[in-house]
Structure 1
Amino acid sequence: MAKYARITGTGSYLPPRRITNDELAAELAQRGIETSNEWIVERTGIHARHFVAADQFASDIGVEAARRAMEAAGAGPEDIDLIIVATSTPDMVFPSTAAIVQHKLGMAGCPAFDVQAVCSGFVYALTVGDAMIRAGNAKRALIIGAEVFSRLLDFNDRTTCVLFGDGAGAVVLEASDEPGILASDLHADGKHVGILCVPGHVSGGQVLGDPLLKMDGQAVFKLAVGVLEKAARAVLDKASLTESDVDWLIPHQANIRIMQSTARKLHLPMEKVVVTVQDHGNTSAASIPLALDVAVRKGDVQKGQNLLLEGVGGGFTWGAVLVKY
């Protein structure tokens, strides 16, 4: 059994269709909804987002991110023996998006399943992959976050439709004798279901309830900042490290204000925070691996650095993972 699991490759993908705030504001104006680039940027830090084409699904963009991660790791599909996809926007009710990704990558035989923890999904999936590798149940895993939130948005609600975008990020996680995933801390509290949800379901061939995203922004913000700080401190304590040992904070890219507040509570300067939300909005479970890949490819994240990954999402779920890159 492996002593550790390490990230050996990263990849990400944004669909070609890019929509700026001005373009979105113009579309909303046709519906009688008033917003502006300035209003969106001031409240969220978002400048643009990407939406999938009509024939693109979570599996398609997940496959693209996975291929890039495998290339970075020097691995091929034949080298992967576990696939975990974090998504809240699966291709189908079933089978899992992971099984569809497996097939599109030309693979067969290894376990493949989805993890659904909304915006905390990648942190959950990475923790599960780490545990499976250290237990000897896998040697090299694909951990993917892939979301097509554009299909859940209510474009008559300017407080939510401006926030989200589509995208995918992935990492290859390998068994190693060197430290990689140092610690993780996961939580959920179902009493907060109502503050961020899509309260619809399929029954008898029809959609029952409301299949569009609903969010109480103020409640989410207040809860998010508090639980993210606690999860961050928990993983640092588990690894016997302090805030000063963190080289990069890579948070879920939901809102620049949440990221700034979290950084302040952890006494980390914004220069140590990876911020990509301006380019793609909130991509839910895809946002952390997407931001990680951007930072790696820019050369900001270097081998041997300590990375603090953390996310918070509907459920209410939250968690953090401390990584030696």
Structure 2
Amino acid sequence: MKNVYITRIAKFLPNEPVENEAMEEKLGVINGKTSKARRIILRNNQIKTRYYAIDKDGNVTHNNAQLAAKAVEALCDETFNKNDIELLSCGTSSPDQILPSHAAMVHGFLKNGNLEVNSPSGACCSGMNALKYGYMAIKSGQVSNAVCTGSERTSSWMKADIFEDEVAHLQEIEEHPILAFNKEFLRWMLSDGAGAMLLESEPKGESPLKIEWMEGYSYAFELDTCMYAGGDKLDDGSLKPWSEYPADVWGKKSLFAMKQDVKLLGENILQKGVASMKLAMEKHNITEDDIDYYLPHISSYYFKENLYNEIERQGLHLPWEKWFLNLQKVGNVGAGSIYLMLEELVHSGKLKKGDKIFLQVPESARFAYSYAYLTVV
């Protein structure tokens, strides 16, 4: 089996950073009233700026595939160009359409010749699953290089017009026209952007990172759906997909808006996260002492202190000086967040040969977790 190295890492963040007070101007006001939930959610998540693929006039500037293609192009130079790519593996939770696949659309924008494409579906873990496919393809000798991406363009899913039909429907039937908190919650959490990594079988570049191992765990066998889009959650906890609703109901129930079961999230996301982290560490016989940098993808700083406490409660210890986060600056970019964190760490000048980096990505959709363990070589 071949060794696998991350030899280049790049990002693309669209337009200018958007501060908290400008969010509603960008995404739009629902039912003509400013959100009461926005300030509460922002106070908890502590995000200061994020990026949207929307210009100052509210026009879309990039779709998701274009964001990912821009990040891939940022990897390239005169010594490695896009025509050298052998495998393109792209993860996202917000594809631009159901078909064709996300990676096929990215490939279409790159126009870089015949190659293999892979499009893992899912939420935040899709970015890590894209990375794992590239990792396994190189490790098994199928290809000598792979480009993997994680990207989101959720701003278009969060715009006010997505919710207008539902608000109008609620008014028609004389219900109080306030959007459910579970639906509004994610409007103030999510951001646009993309990250890309070049994987190769040789340790090239200034600070290559060897991928020692990757692991994934799912708790869908015992937990209900928590984050979803394209369906509605029923009282019994099951998910009814959009395809089983009449077309005239899709807007009335905001079926294509992203939603979060906040209660289920709070009860499970940290406990299962630390439990699965322990499984991965025990399987590969590492301890906290074998981690120099801990990069957990968290959707909100609300979870930061609680995650630390849960780690301690389950018998581990990861002091704050090992943590590396950039949520406050770039926001929650879902499948792209771990790429953006690692990109910033790699270009920070902090890393030295022999450092060990532990990546943790949770996905609340049905509670899944992905891990990677890297060595600076």
TM-score scaled by length of structure 2: 0.77
Contact 1:40–1:46 (8 Å) recurs in 2: no
Whole-angstrom distance in 2 between the partners of 1:8 and 1:260: 33
- Residue 43 of structure 1 is matched in structure 2 by 44
The equivalent of 1:80 in structure 2 is: 85
Would the alpha carbon gap of residues 223 and 19 (structure 1) be closer, same or farther in structure 2, given more than 3 Å must change?
same
> Aligned pair in 2 of structure 1 residues 202, 52: CA closer, same or farther (>3 Å)?
farther
Q: Counterpart of 1:165 in structure 2: which amino acid?
A: S
1:58 aligned residue: 64
275, 298, 318: which one aligns with 1:268: 318
| 1:82 CA drift (Å) | 0.7
Structure 1 vs Structure 2 CA RMSD: 2.7
Aligned with residue 199 of structure 1, among 201, 222, 230: 230
Q: 1:188 aligns with which of 218, 221, 233?
A: 218
2:372 match: secondary structure: strand
Give the secondary-structure state (helix, strand or coil) at the position aligned to 2:225: helix
Instruction: Report the counterpart of residue 373 of structure 2 in structure 1.
Output: 322
User: Secondary structure at 1:51's aligned position in 2?
Assistant: coil
Unaligned runs of 5+ in 1: none
* Alignment of 1:240 onto 2:240: no
Letter in 2 for 1:182: E
Pair 220,197 (structure 1): closer, same or farther in 2 beyond 3 Å? same
Give 1:36 deviation, angstroms.
5.8
- Equivalent position to 1:220, from 260, 265, 270: 265
Q: Classify the secondary structure of the residue corresponding to 1:89.
A: coil
| Residues 106 and 199 of structure 1: CA distance in aligned 2, closer, same or farther (over 3 Å) | closer
* Residue 99 of structure 1: aligned partner: 104
1:218-258 deviation digits (Å, cap 9, x = unpaired): 32133221222233223333332211111111121411232
Matching residue's letter, 1:21: N
The amino acid that maps onto 1:89 is S
Tell me: CA distance 1:141–1:282, structure 2 relative to 1, closer, same or farther (3 Å): same
Residue 303 of structure 1: how far off its partner (Å): 4.2
Aligned to 2:195: 169
State the distance in 2 between where 1:148 and 1:57 align.
Answer: 6
CA distance in 2, matches of 1:116, 1:92: 12
Check conservation: 1:183, 1:235, Cα contact below 8 A.
no
Provide closer, same or farther for how the CA distance between residues 131 and 138 of structure 1 changes in structure 2, counting only shifts above 3 A. same
| Larger Rg belongs to | 2
Which sections of structure 2, spanning at least 5 residues, go unmatched? 55-59, 161-178, 232-241
Amino acid at match of 1:64: K
What is the letter of the counterpart of residue 218 of structure 1? K
2: CA distance between counterparts of 1:116 and 1:303? 34
- The residue type paired with residue 211 of structure 1 is F
Correspondence for 2:133 among 112, 128, 141: 128
Alignment of 1:16-35 (within 5 A): 16-24=15-23, 28=29, 30-35=32-37
Find the residue that maps to 2:286 and give its secondary structure: coil
Scaled by the length of structure 1, the TM-score of the pair is 0.88
* Compared CA separation, residues 300 and 194, structure 1 to 2 (3 A): same
User: How many pairs does the alignment contain?
Assistant: 322
Identity value in percent: 22
